[in-house]
Amino acid sequence: MNKEILKDGEPCDHPGCLNHISHPCEGCGRIGGLSMNLEITEKLIESVPQTYGEAILQYPWLKYIKFESHEYDNRTTIENAIFLLKSADALACLYGSLLEQDI
């Protein structure tokens, strides 16, 4: 099946197409049923630390987020990118609420 005509979230003929989240589907080449630009994907992989140790060095504020290092190391790059964005957002919201308080 041609992936050009598949909508995001629509499986190809390969069984388990949408379950392929750590590697491309053998049927359509997509990951998780999503069309992704190869250049953007490569930039994401290059910019997101692949291990907890790399993440702490690149983002020192992570030491304030409670989680186990093996959790980071056992997730995919996209899952870690989402985790980093949500963690940064949570810290920014907390910092903003502290600034708004009359101390």
Per residue in 35-77, pLDDT (tens digit) is: 776 677 778 778 899 899 999 999 998 888 878 888 888 888 8
Query: What integer pLDDT is reported at residue 1 of this predicted model?
Result: 44
What is the SS3 assignment for 73?
helix
What is the SS3 assignment for 51?
coil
* Region 3-31 average pLDDT: 82
Query: What integer pLDDT is reported at residue 54 of this predicted model?
Result: 93
In Å, what is the CA distance from 24 to each residue of 12, 67, 83, 99, 102?
12, 28, 22, 45, 52
Q: What are the extents of the domains in the chain?
A: 1-36, 48-103
pLDDT, tens digit, 9 for 90 and up, residues 12-23: 898 888 887 777
How far apart are alpha carbons 30 and 3 in whole angstroms? Answer: 8
How far apart are alpha carbons 86 and 93 in whole angstroms? Answer: 10
How far apart are alpha carbons 76 and 70 in whole angstroms? Answer: 12
Quote the pTM value.
Answer: 0.57
Query: What integer pLDDT is reported at residue 49 of this predicted model?
Result: 92
Under DSSP, the state recorded for 15 is T
